[in-house]
Structure 1
């Protein structure tokens, strides 16, 4: 049986590694083109490409999978099954119809909730306590295909998008390993999704990273950890971007005066920067002033002009 694997970020690597380790015949890997990374814009392969080359598997990197040339190239590998995990492009009908055993997707949410490109981040940003993996057949809609199996994964208070990506990538590979023998033998009964229960998780924008200090401490805390380690949250200080990479889990803070404007710095010490929020305070632990590297509160407090009473906007 010929399997083509499609994926791009580190989230997809455990699923690809599992297929190889279990002896499945992965004839090709499709991933996004190499992109410039870092300040020096070094052309960098995707994590899935690196894994494929490590396993000696042919790699395809079409700019547009729906182009006739890309479809024709893929068809040369005669896939019996296509497995995707966070590939990053919508599969056209010509590709969906190609494998006799269908196209499977390892999706990072409990469908039909959080369809779309950023389910893990948005689960955390929205304060969810549990998420998971859904193994599904792909269809022409956005994550609308029939569901094969699910596994739940709790979200802990100190989890970030990064830690949940790691947990869910392992859970996805395990679920795929568990279900593949039945899928190959055609013994799986898939369940249609209830579209009325669907919610969406579109890719994050710059606006999603901007902190609104009038929100509750918990909402801001969840927003920050849902953006780590990819972009972090940001606010403005003296008109410049001031990034926030970590905050303390909100507890029973002493309530600041309601007359104090949200965003006001109340205290600045080696243990953290205490900022007024819509319902109390939030202690910032790791920050990044404009033009500098990220640093902890102790390092920042020793050399900053920030003072209590200043307002972050």
Structure 2
């Protein structure tokens, strides 16, 4: 089939690569405009754009999909099917109507749970032990279209969202290719989503990173995992912002107010949490610095039991 691909970040690359290496023809790529990135705010190509350029695939980067030139470009490409993987914007109805076989999407959750922009991060934050990918039709409502296939994947107790997302990207690419083959053969099946069972995964915000030490240790641990690699979980020690990169839950009572450092060992800061729990911090990063194991952090910072992490 002739396929037009919509995608932007690294999550979308395995799907595009899989399609490019298949018997199907990727006739064009739609990706978001280049944006400044990093401390230097240097404008860089998106991962999808970089791959499209490397493979000499026709490319467009519209600021608005409703611009008439976008529909004209897609008509010129004459796609049979549209494939979406983390494009990053809602696709308007006039674009949905262009490919004769419609558009299908690789979504990184087991729909109808976690519709929205941050399904992997939200699943990890909520302490889910299982997630997966869903291939579904793109409709006007956000992530609400009929499902064509789903695959599950366990979430380990210490896995971070970036690790889970990379694996789901590979899993989703293989599943997408299977569905495209079924559509070409006319053997695909569709299942409506149960809207009563749906939940949403809104885009992450920087403000969500601040740790509430009154939460149970397991919930803080899940937030640290789910907010990695952005926006990061963070806290303050003597007015200095500390990014918390890795933790583990301890089976011990703290006997101190939440946020109190109850013990300092060679490899961890042991912190009181809500429900009289304890969370060990294993790896941190200071503003503008590099990630540090706690033994490295302690080599340059004096921290004693009784010190307390705060919200400012």
**Counterpart position of 2:270:** 274
* 2:254 equivalent to 1:256: yes
1:297 equivalent among 294, 297, 310:
294
1:239 deviation in Å?
2.7
1:265 equivalent among 261, 264, 268:
261
Q: Do 2:112 and 2:197's aligned partners in 1 also have CA atoms closer than 8 Å?
A: yes
CA distance in 1: counterparts of 2:159 and 2:21, whole angstroms: 29
CA distance in 2: counterparts of 1:240 and 1:272, whole angstroms: 18
TM-score relative to the length of structure 2: 0.95
1:303 deviation in Å?
1.1
Unaligned stretches of 5+ residues in structure 1:
none
The list of structure 1 runs, each at least 4 consecutive aligned residues, that deviate by more than 6 angstroms after superposition, is none
Task: For residue 12 of structure 1, give the secondary structure of its aligned residue in structure 2.
Answer: helix
Aligned residues: 309
Q: Do 2:250 and 2:278's aligned partners in 1 also have CA atoms closer than 8 Å?
A: no
**Counterpart position of 1:161:** 161
* 2:300 equivalent to 1:311: no
* 2:93 equivalent to 1:86: no
Matches within 5 A, 1:1-313: 1-248=1-248, 250-252=249-251, 254-257=252-255, 260-279=256-275, 280-313=277-310
Q: Do 1:101 and 1:184's aligned partners in 2 also have CA atoms closer than 8 Å?
A: no
Deviates more, 1:103-112 or 1:14-23: 14-23
CA distance in 1: counterparts of 2:60 and 2:111, whole angstroms: 29
TM-score relative to the length of structure 1: 0.95
Residue by residue, what CA displacement relative to the aligned partner does 1:60-107 show, whole Å, maximum 9, x if unpaired?
111122222323333321221000011101000001101101100000
Q: Do 2:254 and 2:271's aligned partners in 1 also have CA atoms closer than 8 Å?
A: no
Unaligned stretches of 5+ residues in structure 2:
none
Q: Do 1:233 and 1:244's aligned partners in 2 also have CA atoms closer than 8 Å?
A: yes
1:189 deviation in Å?
2.2
